[in-house]
Amino acid sequence: MRNARAAHPTRRGILAAGGAIGLGAALAACGDDDAKSGSGGDAGAGKSGPWSFKDDRGTTVKLDSVPKNIVAFTGVAAALWDYGVEVKGVFGPTTTKDGKPDVQAGDLDVAKVTVLGNEWGKLNVEKYATLAPEVLVTTTFDTAGTLWSVPEESKDKVAKLAPSVAISVFDRQLTQPLQRMWELAESLGADMKAKKVTDAKAAFEKAAARLRAAAKAKPEIRVLAGSASADLFYVSGTNLSVDLEYFKALGVNFVEPSEEAKKATGGWFESLSWENVDKYPADVIIMDDRASTIQPADITEGTWKQLPAVKAGQVIARSPEPILSYDKCTPLLNNLAEAIENAKKVG
């Protein structure tokens, strides 16, 4: 959803912008101890023999052995890294302008991977080929199984070089893709019984219980999921995004854009001018943390600064494209729980 830059966004462009949010790019228009520590050790080293994995498109990839030359979307690579699985190359937002890891890279050692495209929708096919890829792994944000961040214009060339695996993050709760990523990592040789891994899953479950309790204790607190661009403010609906669907299932009271307003974006979000940013009263605002969007501290619009939640300091970050490991998703739950626990009714 990042860099879909078209005057009239295609369906994929809309997903790019609002799917994982309410949109980063389309916005602009209108990416042995090592395994246990999660530091990216050679998790598959102990596995031999044939490998297969059935992805969320219903496609089964079969190889003669566990793949070592893995190329993945940056956020997927970060999730696999947390389970001790290294990838050889990545595509998608990986490093910032100062060379530091992008928010979507998590704990991934960006110096250890070949970056094939450092923004959404960019993948250098020639460079990709030199890695002798055995499998490409990414997510999908639609029912068609479109490979996230694989350029439309070169998808056929990419497909000829290696089979692909897609984990769906469309219209389901966060726990489903988390489980699928767990299964993928395990198939690739990750030690899923390592203490770091089991502790992370237990911490996630504890955080989920905390958020459920916070939402139950303060059902009157309204939460709005937003995203900012220079010209527009995007309010995300909860029906398609994995994080928001899960938070809602835990009882969080979300502000919902009207169905009529969401039609133009396939149900993902509503676009508001900055003059109308106060259309939906909210007590807590969770803002898209991706580099393609304007962060709260950098928003200069006076209408934004006058919002009750902003004046009350009740604005936190949201990860519309969560890194699908329990370790990285736990803070998302705890941060929202804390915000609701401490929130005052202001909207």
Question: pLDDT digit string (tens) for 244-254?
Answer: 999 999 999 99
What pLDDT, in 10s, does the model give residues 22-53?
433 343 333 333 333 333 444 544 456 799 99
Report the relative pairing of strands 222-228 and 232-236 from DSSP bridges: antiparallel
pLDDT value at position 261?
87
Ranges of the chain with pLDDT below 70: 1-48
pLDDT value at position 47?
58
* C-alpha to C-alpha distance for 128 and 13, rounded to whole angstroms: 23
Sheet with 135-140: list strands edge to edge: 114-115, 89-91, 70-73, 135-140, 164-168
Record the pTM: 0.88
- Residue whose C-alpha is closest to residue 1's, from 21, 344, 10: 21
7 Cβ partners below 8 Å, 6+ apart? 29, 30
Beta strand residue intervals within the chain, DSSP E: 51-54, 60-63, 70-73, 89-91, 114-115, 135-140, 164-168, 222-228, 232-236, 253-254, 269-273, 284-288, 315-318
Provide the CA 24 distance to its chain's centre, in angstroms: 12
Torsion of Cα atoms, 332 then 119 then 153 then 29, to 10° = 80
Q: Which residue has 């726990």 as its token pair?
A: 175
Longest CA pairwise span in the chain (Å): 62
172 Cβ partners below 8 Å, 6+ apart? 242, 245
The β-bridge partners of 234 are: 227, 271
* C-alpha to C-alpha distance for 339 and 283, rounded to whole angstroms: 10
Structure tokens at 140: 């999908």
Name residue 273's amino acid: S
3-state SS assignment for residue 141 = coil
* C-alpha to C-alpha distance for 332 and 175, rounded to whole angstroms: 13
* C-alpha to C-alpha distance for 327 and 232, rounded to whole angstroms: 33
Report the relative pairing of strands 269-273 and 232-236 from DSSP bridges: antiparallel
